[in-house]
Amino acid sequence: MKTLLKNIEQYSIVLASQSPRRQQLLNDLGIEFEVLVKPEIEESFPDSLPMTEIPIYLAKHKATAYQEELTHDNILVITADTIVCCDNKVLGKPADYNQAIEMLQNLSGKAHEVITGVAITTQQKQHTFYASTKVFFKDLTPQEIEYYVTNYKPYDKAGAYGIQEWIGLTAIEKIEGSYFNVMGLPVQKLYTELLNF
């Protein structure tokens, strides 16, 4: 399938993510790419960063692991990081069952923000952007939270949930912004940014 992104056809595109959701979304854009995942990169950030800058900082940090690939001038690397913010706290990926339960208890009955930062990097330049989506959860019962965590094991997801899973169907009352951003990649914005890259 041919892409409309003629301006990036000169590049071999690398998606630096093992997330099957990001891989599927990029594939659905009609972009040919390869997945290359480096060893786990420390996802720490300075405490002083504003919320919207945290995922951009982490996406840029991930890109530094691909310096070897970027010695070739026809390589374009896409890195991304998604965070969930609730009550001015950043919720990362839960370490275990109990932490996942606790995160979902915190999200229950509230609105929270999902922010994805993306870095597009070549040998010559780097461009970054972010997208933000507001997500509204209904009040969750303890049984619903336990059912979801037990059956879906959301330990690889920021905020301990995936919008495309059972909890998205049953618990999310509405969203303001990009649905796909909550999945982990704001593809509409990425498409626009690649058109202008």
**Predicted confidence (pLDDT) per residue in 91-149, tens digit:** 989 999 999 999 999 999 999 999 999 999 999 999 999 999 999 999 999 999 999 99
SS3 154: coil
CA–CA gap between residue 34 and residue 69 (Å, rounded): 12
- The structure's pTM equals 0.91
Domains of the chain: 6-195 (3.90.950.10)
Phi, psi of 33 (to 5 degrees): -155, 165
Q: Over the stretch 163-185, which tens digit does the pLDDT of each residue have?
A: 999 999 999 999 999 999 999 99
| Residues known to be catalytic | 81
Task: Write the pLDDT tens digit of every residue in 6-58.
Answer: 778 889 999 999 899 999 999 998 889 999 998 777 778 888 899 999 999 99
Q: What is the pLDDT of residue 186?
A: 97
